[in-house]
Amino acid sequence: MARRTREEHPRDVPFRSVRSLRFWLIAAAVLALLAVGNGAAATVVTRGQVHDSTTVLNDHLRPAQTAAQRLLTAYVDEETGQRGFVLTGKDSFLEPYRVGVRRAAKLEAQLADLLRGRRGALTLLADVKAAAVAWRTNVEAEVATVRARGPEAVRNEARQRKDKVVFDALRERLDALQVEMEKLVGDEVARLGAAQRNVELAMMVAVALALLALAATVTLLHFSLTRPLGRLMGQLEAVSSGEYDRRIDASGPEEVRLMAEAAEKMRMSVVDRSAELVAAQHELSVHTERQRVAADLHDTTIQRLFGLGLKLSALASQRAELAGTLNSLIDEADGIIRELRQMIFEMNEDAIRANAAARDEGTDQTGRTDLASQELPASDGTAPSRSKP
């Protein structure tokens, strides 16, 4: 029986062309890294916003707010010292005024540095300085008048109203600066709160993305690796349990498909060998049966016919009146013997050819009996010589 080739077993459904296992693992890792990286980046950005707002609030706005309050106190101290000097004419009352002037100058310089880049607040600070210059000009004039003419020279109501109007203008500028500082601080506190909420949201999003990445990775590995491997293992177990007709056609990553192809080749080889073995066993049984029949014909039938011919020859020599009839029977027996020997010879030839074919295919055909080599009774193809009447 001719061996079946690989081409005689085309696949019903070709393997799907998919990526390799390395590709899916890299894709899962990239997905996880992207999710974690985006969450981390968002967290870092929002934390940076919190840090910036905290820095601005603690290093600039709150110190500026405190400096503005202290600036108001410094000008109030100046105004108190100026009033004491105007009322008493004593130079000791001007000490708070002088200290207030120095302190106000330092606070204004500090505010200018802390409010750098904030145009609205700097404009209000400039208005405060301008109003302070106008008020101090008026104060210096009063101080000179008191020193020259005494406190009575500046105690008229008109001059006092003018002093009040000038200082109230300065006080209004200081109040406007205070309001602006409170507004700046409030805005920055609101930004800080929003940044902190963004941090919390970013962390929640990062956790959600990480969980989604984990779920996507598990799902991806399940459909691209676990399920194809499970299907392949099921097919291999079925084949190993004896279901050799079940085709192995697992899909999935390239590595799984390669394993499935190798297993399918082994299965086809086992099926081919099994078919060849069954065919060889069938041929062996047929040839064995033929040999048995040939042996029976040789050992029993031909010998009996040969013995019958001998008996007929002996009877013909004894009964001359039956010689003609007996001789025809003897001739017929000789023909039957020749035909049987020809049949046995053909059976032996078939057995010889079968053995040669089995040796060519590597199949062990031992145990056969070559009937052609068996010793047959020596004869020239006829029954024993008969006696003529």
CATH number of the domain that 84 lies in?
1.20.120.1730
Residue 238 lies in a domain: no
Quote the pLDDT of residue 180. Answer: 92
What is the per-residue DSSP string for 96-139? HHHHHHHHHHHHHHHHHHHTTT-HHHHHHHHHHHHHHHHHHHHH
Quote the pLDDT of residue 359. Answer: 65
Q: Kindly state whether residues 45 and 92 are assigned to the same domain.
A: yes
Residue 281 lies in a domain: yes
Q: What's the number of domains the chain is made of? A: 2
Q: Kindly state whether residues 184 and 137 are assigned to the same domain.
A: yes
> Is 229 strand, coil or helix?
helix
Of 254, 255, 259, give the one whose Cα is nearest residue 232.
Answer: 259
Residue 105 lies in a domain: yes
Rounded CA separation 32/211 (Å): 9
> Is 20 strand, coil or helix?
coil
Rounded CA separation 210/191 (Å): 28
Q: Kindly state whether residues 110 and 59 are assigned to the same domain.
A: yes
Rounded CA separation 302/334 (Å): 10
Q: Kindly state whether residues 62 and 174 are assigned to the same domain.
A: yes
Quote the pLDDT of residue 357. Answer: 65
Q: Kindly state whether residues 29 and 132 are assigned to the same domain.
A: yes
**Residue 310: CB atoms within 10 Å:** 16
Residue 161 lies in a domain: yes
Q: Kindly state whether residues 220 and 301 are assigned to the same domain.
A: no
Q: Kindly state whether residues 225 and 267 are assigned to the same domain.
A: no
Q: Kindly state whether residues 54 and 122 are assigned to the same domain.
A: yes
Residue span of the structural domain in which 49 resides: 21-229
Residue 16 lies in a domain: no
pLDDT in tens, the chain (389 residues): 444 433 334 344 343 444 666 776 777 777 777 777 777 777 777 778 788 888 888 888 899 999 999 999 999 998 888 888 888 888 888 888 889 999 999 999 999 999 888 899 999 999 999 999 999 898 888 888 888 888 777 777 777 788 888 888 999 999 999 999 999 999 989 988 888 888 788 778 878 877 887 887 778 777 777 787 788 888 788 878 877 777 777 676 777 777 777 887 888 888 888 777 787 777 777 777 777 776 766 667 777 777 777 777 777 777 777 777 777 777 777 888 787 777 777 776 766 776 666 566 554 444 444 433 444 444 444 444 444 33
**Residue 126: CB atoms within 10 Å:** 13
Rounded CA separation 92/115 (Å): 35
| Cα–Cα distance list, 353 to 258, 278, 283, 296, 341 (Å) | 42, 19, 12, 21, 18
Residue 1 lies in a domain: no
Amino acid at 212: L
Q: Kindly state whether residues 224 and 331 are assigned to the same domain.
A: no
Q: Kindly state whether residues 78 and 160 are assigned to the same domain.
A: yes
Quote the pLDDT of residue 10. Answer: 39
The phi-psi region of residue 362 (left if phi > 0; otherwise alpha if psi is between -120 and 50; otherwise beta) is: left
> Is 291 strand, coil or helix?
helix
Quote the pLDDT of residue 362. Answer: 53
Q: Kindly state whether residues 274 and 318 are assigned to the same domain.
A: yes
Rounded CA separation 29/87 (Å): 85
Amino acid at 151: P
Residue 241 lies in a domain: no
Question: Which tokens hold the place of 133?
Answer: 């210059």
Residue 196 lies in a domain: yes
Rounded CA separation 370/247 (Å): 43
Question: Residue 200 carries which DSSP code?
Answer: H
Q: Kindly state whether residues 267 and 221 are assigned to the same domain.
A: no
Euclidean distance between the first and final Cα of the chain, in Å?
58
